[in-house]
Amino acid sequence: MPTPIRLAKYVADLAHCSRIEAEQYIKNGWVSVDGRVSEDPALPVLGNTVVLDAAAQLEAIEPATVLLHKPAGYDTISGRNMAAALVQAGNHWPEDPSGVRVLERHFQRLTPLVPLDAEASGLMVLTQDGRVWRRLTEDGDAIEQEFVVEVSGNIAPYGLRKLNHGLHYNGRALPPCKVSWQNEIRLRFALKGVQGGQLRDMCAQVGLDVVAIRRLRIGKVALAKMPVGLWRYLPVGERF
């Protein structure tokens, strides 16, 4: 009886290339088996339809950085209900403008960065890229974040002025930030070095109750129109 062979050997024979090159084609998502992309060079094949994409290239695939529109109720850095579980092929935003091909390897070893309160929603970052990790951890407090906060209640006299500068949190004076009314029930915050629970506490200090918090932007990278629960790639060349 015929014996199955490793996919890498089959592709090497098919493309007249070395076994190492065949493995790279496979790991980079250029090979399909019976119509489905396979990234496993060791997959046994026998009588299967194996196709090497005509656009296949051998250059290394860049580590992925993922931007997720986190729903409220999910944890970012640690917890029982991790938002990272939402980063899967079925939740990829169909209008992702990055042009990056979805690969299974992109879902491995993703590190969540830039904490966001569990009850908040909005932009969340997960990465495989050490350069992005360093930027958002070592320089994180210098990167401005933007939030929209839905509130209820009546703001105290001079409350907006105090939100911009004049409040304390965890026993320390907060640096100046930019806070303005977006409409009658929503405030827009732009600030650096934001801490867990800080926005809710700031609003409470001026007589407001927080109904919802959504992060719109981290540095130069914005949530844009991506729906809740979906994710997209950070395009190569886009910086925080």
Where in the chain is CATH 3.10.290.10?
Answer: 5-52
Task: Give residue 134's pLDDT band: very low, low, confident or very high (50, 70, 90).
Answer: very high
Average pLDDT value over all residues in the chain: 93
Number of H helices, E strands in the chain: 5, 16
Q: Give the CATH number of domain 65-140+221-233.
A: 3.30.70.580
- Model confidence pLDDT, tens digit, residues 16-57: 888 888 888 888 888 888 988 888 888 988 888 888 888 888
- Model confidence pLDDT, tens digit, residues 77-132: 999 999 999 999 999 999 999 989 899 889 989 999 999 999 999 999 999 999 99
- Model confidence pLDDT, tens digit, residues 193-208: 999 999 999 999 999 9
| 3-state secondary structure (DSSP) of residue 196 | coil
| 3-state secondary structure (DSSP) of residue 160 | helix
Is there a contact between 30 and 54 (Cβ–Cβ < 8 Å)? Answer: no
Q: Which CATH superfamily is domain 144-218 in?
A: Alpha-L RNA-binding motif (3.30.70.1560)
Q: Give the CATH number of domain 5-52.
A: 3.10.290.10
> Measuring CA to CA, how many Å separate 152 from each of 119, 134, 186, 189?
16, 38, 9, 16
Task: Give residue 135's pLDDT band: very low, low, confident or very high (50, 70, 90).
Answer: very high
pTM for the predicted model, two decimal places: 0.85
| 3-state secondary structure (DSSP) of residue 168 | strand
Question: What is the helix, strand, coil percentage profile of the chain, to 5?
Answer: 25, 30, 50
Where in the chain is CATH 3.30.70.580?
Answer: 65-140+221-233
